Every structure is written in C-alpha cells, then in structure tokens.
Structure 1
Amino acid sequence: MNKPQRDLTLRFLAEPQDVNFGGKVHGGAVMKWIDLAAYACSAGWSSRYCVTAYAGGIRFVAPIHVGNLVEVNAKVIYTGNSSMHIALEVFACDPKSMNRRLTTHCIVIMVAVDESGQPVGIPQWQPESEEDIKQYETAKKLMEMRKQISEEMQIYVPK
C-alpha cells in the first residue's frame, strides 16, 4: 500500500468567468477552489471519497485578478477517526513576474465516507517537525473553539 499523500498544490489561471462586478475574482470562486483542493488532499490521505464537514476562518487578505496564476496549497494538519483538518493557503501572482502573494487562508474539515455515506476510519497522522506540531496544536485549539461556538449557537436552532 502506498504511503498517504499529506499535501498537494493545485495551479491554474484565474479566468474571466471567475470575476465579480468589482473586477476581481469573487469569493465564491475562491471558496470552490479551496473545497476542490481540500477534497483532493483528503482523498489522497485517506484513499476514500470525502465530504466537506466544515469550512471556517476563511480570510480574504488580497484580491486575485483575471489572468493571475493561482496556487492552492492544502495540507493535512490533524486527523481524527474519520476526519481530516486541512490547512489551505491560496496564493496568486502575475505569471510574468511570479511574485507570489498570499490572498486567502482557512481550515477545512473533511470526512472520509464509505459507499453508503457513513464515516470510515482513516490513517492517523502524527506531527514530526516543529511547524507540524504548531499546526496540530492550532487544530486542537480550533476544535475546542468550534465546540464552544456551537454550544452558544444552540439558542438559534429551531426546536
């Protein structure tokens, strides 16, 4: 069996159909690219079909223009029984200069499922480098924060 693939990069050019009314690539297009990269990364790690369970902390920090070379980096930073926390960074640059800049970053949680859509076990990932340990600890902190937010949001859930 092959070693699971922990990270991947998607690269492509931003196209005219990706633009909003302000002339920049719209956030929905960026979110789609993030979801595609998260799926490919999680499927590569788990060797299973995966579904998006959560996308959060999406930060749009710089615009992407039509014709920019876009790079979406995805990396497993935490694994549960069937879930994978994927850290994503989106970079863009003019392909003539190749001067990359960070445009967006976030965390997406993917869940590996079987043919009937039920969660299925995945290989476990253990942090090794100092950077891995920091990202792993951040993922654990974010899980606790999401739990607290979910509890607070119960007031808005219809009964």
Structure 2
Amino acid sequence: MSKTNPREVTLRFLAQPTDVNFGGKVHGGTVMKWIDQAGYACAVGWSGRYCVTVYVGGIRFYKPVLLGSMVEVSARVLYTGRTSMHIAVDVQAGDLKDGEFSKTTHCVMVFVATNDHGNPTPVPEWVPHSESELIDHAYAQRLMELRKGIEEEMGQRV
C-alpha cells in the first residue's frame, strides 16, 4: 500500500449539551478544540509526523453553533515551509433535519512537524496547481507578511 499525503481533512461532530455555555450556544473553547483537532489531523496526514501547533491566527467567529447542530470542521494545507505547514480551518454547522449549513468560524494555523526527539523535521512540499490552490497559497503568504508585523509589535510588550 502506498502512502498518500491528503491535503484536506474534515471532522464531524454533533453539538451536545456538554458543549454549551450559559447562553445555550457551543462554547468558543469547544469550537477551538475541534479546530485544533482538525488542524492536527491535517498536519499529521500531510507530514506523516507528530506535529505541534505553533500559531493560531485570525480566528473569526461569524455565528454561534447551536445545540444539536451537525458540525463540520474542514482543514486544508495552504502552504508548506521546510518544517512547517500553514493550514486553513473552516467550521460549518447546520440542522440535520433541513441540511442547511453555514460557515461559523475560520482561522489559519501553523504546525511544525517534529522528529522522535521533538526537533523540527522537514515536511513534504505542497505545490499548488489549480487556480483555487494558487489563491490559497497567496493567502498564506500574505498572512505570513502580516504576522511578521504583528509579532514585531507584540515583541515590544514582552
């Protein structure tokens, strides 16, 4: 059997009573946990290595996830560095009865693959081919440039 490196992963969850906050909506922290799980699954699937989260940026909650909703958390590789992977994660939720889903959350994560000693290790390069893949790749590069400015600014506060 040959090894493949899937670029995308989708996890599905049912929003349960244990997931909700006092307002009756799913906790933002629960959504963030799902995001981290999908991002991790995508990073490990791509790299074939244990991966660690090194950055989560621009998380945007568009609308709440409701109790009983089917939740789909999709992660896809946008860009690869030598040891890192930039992964977009989108959350959609909807009512199973009518099948209507809408985007609730979006963010970009950076994972680093590690070797058996916990040190960064190279990952397979992802090369975009289609127009949508080229758009994803350019998006990741723009975010990397923006992040440099953010990190510089935040570094002054340490």
TM-score over 0.5 for the pair: yes
Equivalent residue number for residue 149 of structure 1: 150
Cα distance in 2 for partners of 1:33, 1:66 equals 15
Cα distance in 2 for partners of 1:151, 1:142 equals 14
Equivalent residue number for residue 38 of structure 1: 39
Cα distance in 2 for partners of 1:101, 1:154 equals 37
DSSP 3-state at the match of 2:156 = helix
DSSP 3-state at the match of 2:152 = helix
Cα distance in 2 for partners of 1:9, 1:155 equals 38
- Cα RMSD of the aligned pairs, angstroms, is 0.8
5 Å-filtered alignment, 1:1-159, equals 1-157=2-158
Name the amino acid aligned to 1:133. L
Cα distance in 1 for partners of 2:15, 2:71 equals 6
Residues 91-118 of structure 1, C-alpha deviation per residue, up to 9 Å, x if partnerless?
A: 0011111101100011011110012110
| Deviation of 1:140 (Å) | 0.5
TM-score (normalizing by structure 2): 0.97
Cα distance in 2 for partners of 1:154, 1:10 equals 35
Residues 13-65 of structure 1, C-alpha deviation per residue, up to 9 Å, x if partnerless?
A: 01111101111001000000000000000000000000100001101001111
| Deviation of 1:155 (Å) | 1.6
Name the amino acid aligned to 1:62. K
Q: For structure 2, which runs of at least 5 residues remain unmatched after alignment?
A: none
Cα distance in 2 for partners of 1:50, 1:152 equals 27
Cα distance in 1 for partners of 2:48, 2:155 equals 35
Q: For structure 1, which runs of at least 5 residues remain unmatched after alignment?
A: none
